């Protein structure tokens, strides 16, 4: 992503927030700690970068936006500005050495001027002790500093931090807007609806389609679903042969579990109305989905949906991914008898 497109993307996704923060900076009313709460794809990173660039920009535009091309803007975008401290999780967590780095930076004044900004993405992935260190900085900031804490779920943040930051809720991207963006990005029509249920980010959607991963996963989950609908015990075998190989890391495991939910959601929606195939997550197994919707009661389908939704919390509890899928499959097959 280029420097210019960061500001453009922030404006497109959150125009009101961008205008609001540009005015706060212009009038010297920026608070020292904010919590940006927004799902992936809502532009929380881009807005944070835009705020940082505006604080240091040498050639602010007539509209009050950072120019994106001056030396300061370019250094920020390159991650090379000593007074813009950015931390993102290293893997699943924000690691101990990253926390040490943050603590050290908290105690330092700005290097080149009188302004310093901290951007901590996915702050919910901090340990409790690390979050408490962050709390101390928020309560006792050093010099002219601003902290932008970013999260996709403010419910995972310590209440003490919530009470000491200004919470900024980001507007969600509409499914239609994302569908239109996916069409412009040449994503296959059969994958667009499914992607809108998995992410609000075109970039994340394109990452899922890289090397045909989503196409392979959509086929595998569809075949597993059809086998479950038929009460075919080979669905259990498909867990090990087809589903587990899709997920090489915890993030992809989560995506696969979300995809299972959407397969059953297709069936639930078809029980009460006729749904066009382009509005189904799995159009290739639409017939099996429709048949199981007619055969099972709404209570049975809701029970299966509840079981499937519970797999996410099981994964968060560090239960083995294959074990989660196998247990779910056996429970669903029992519903089909």
152 with 122: CB under 8 angstroms?
Answer: yes
Same domain, yes or no, for 165 and 296? no
Reported as a single tens digit per residue, the pLDDT across 106-158 is 888 888 888 999 999 999 888 777 788 788 888 887 778 899 999 988 888 88
The CATH number of the domain where 320 resides is what? 1.20.272.10
Q: Can you give the pLDDT at residue 2?
A: 42
pLDDT of the residue at 3? 40
Domain co-membership, 247 together with 322: yes
Say if residue 152 is in the same domain as residue 186: no
CATH for 110: 3.40.50.300
Q: What is the pLDDT of residue 326?
A: 97
* DSSP helix/strand/coil, 87: strand
Tokens of 86: 């950015």
**Given 119, 148, 169, which residue is the final one in a domain?**
169
Q: Between the CA of residue 66 and those of 43, 57, 76, 98, 115, what are the distances in Å?
A: 17, 6, 11, 29, 16
Query: 39 near 172, Cβ under 8 Å?
Result: yes
Q: How many residues would you count in the chain?
A: 337
| Final residue before a domain boundary, out of 169, 191, 215 | 169
Looking at the structure of the chain, the number of domains it has is 2
- Is 119 found in the same domain as 264? no
Same domain for 297 and 213: yes
Is 278 found in the same domain as 223?
yes
Q: Tell me how crowded residue 249 is: count the other CB atoms within 10 A of its CB.
A: 10
Same domain, 151 and 204: no
How would DSSP label each residue in 125-181? GS-HHHHHHHHHHHHS--SSEEEEEEES-GGGS-HHHHTTSEEEEPPPPPHHHHHHH
Is residue 144 domain-shared with residue 254, that is, in the same domain?
Answer: no
- Out of 130, 154, 169, pick the residue that ends a domain: 169
* Two tokens, residue 316: 């968060």
DSSP H or E stretch at residue 34: strand 33-37
Summarised one tens digit per residue, pLDDT across range 74-109 is: 999 998 999 999 998 877 778 778 888 888 888 888
Whole domain around residue 258: which residue ranges? 175-335
What pLDDT score was predicted for residue 137? 81
Residues 73 and 48 in one domain: yes
Measure the CA–CA gap between 300 and 295, rounded to whole angstroms.
10
Residue stretches of the chain with pLDDT short of 50: 1-4
> Both 329 and 199 in a single domain?
yes
Same domain, 94 and 27: yes
- Indicate whether 100 and 237 sit together in one domain: no
């Amino acid at each position: 992503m280029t420097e210019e497109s960061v500001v453009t993307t922030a404006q497109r996704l959150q125009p009101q927030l961008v205008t609001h923060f540009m005015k706060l900076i212009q009038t010297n009313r920026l608070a020292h700690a904010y919590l940006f709460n927004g799902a992936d794809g809502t532009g929380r990173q881009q807005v944070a970068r835009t705020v940082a660039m505006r604080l240091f920009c040498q050639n602010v535009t007539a509209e009050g936006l950072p120019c994106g091309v001056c030396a300061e803007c370019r250094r920020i975008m390159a991650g090379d500005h000593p007074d813009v401290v950015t931390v993102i999780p290293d893997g699943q967590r924000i690691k101990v050495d990253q926390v040490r780095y943050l603590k050290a930076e908290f105690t330092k004044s700005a290097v080149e001027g009188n302004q310093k900004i901290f951007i901590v993405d996915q702050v919910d992935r901090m340990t409790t002790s690390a979050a408490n260190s962050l709390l101390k900085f928020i309560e006792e900031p050093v010099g002219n500093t601003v902290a932008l804490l970013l999260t996709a779920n403010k419910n995972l943040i310590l209440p003490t931090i919530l009470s000491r930051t200004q919470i900024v809720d980001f507007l969600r991207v509409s499914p239609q807007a994302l569908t239109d963006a996916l069409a412009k990005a040449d994503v296959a029509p059969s994958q667009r609806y499914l992607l809108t249920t998995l992410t609000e980010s075109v970039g994340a959607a394109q990452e899922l389609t890289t090397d045909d991963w989503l196409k392979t996963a959509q086929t595998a989950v569809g075949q597993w679903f059809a086998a479950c609908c038929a009460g075919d015990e080979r669905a259990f075998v498909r867990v090990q042969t087809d589903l587990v190989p899709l997920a090489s890391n915890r993030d992809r495991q989560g995506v696969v579990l979300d995809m299972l939910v959407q397969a059953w959601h297709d069936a639930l929606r078809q029980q009460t109305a006729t749904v066009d195939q382009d509005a189904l997550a799995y159009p290739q197994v639409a017939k099996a989905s429709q048949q199981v919707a007619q055969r099972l009661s709404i209570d049975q389908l809701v029970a299966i949906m509840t079981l499937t939704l519970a797999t996410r919390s099981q994964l968060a509890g560090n239960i083995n991914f294959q074990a989660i899928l196998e247990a779910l499959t056996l429970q669903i097959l029992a519903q089909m008898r």
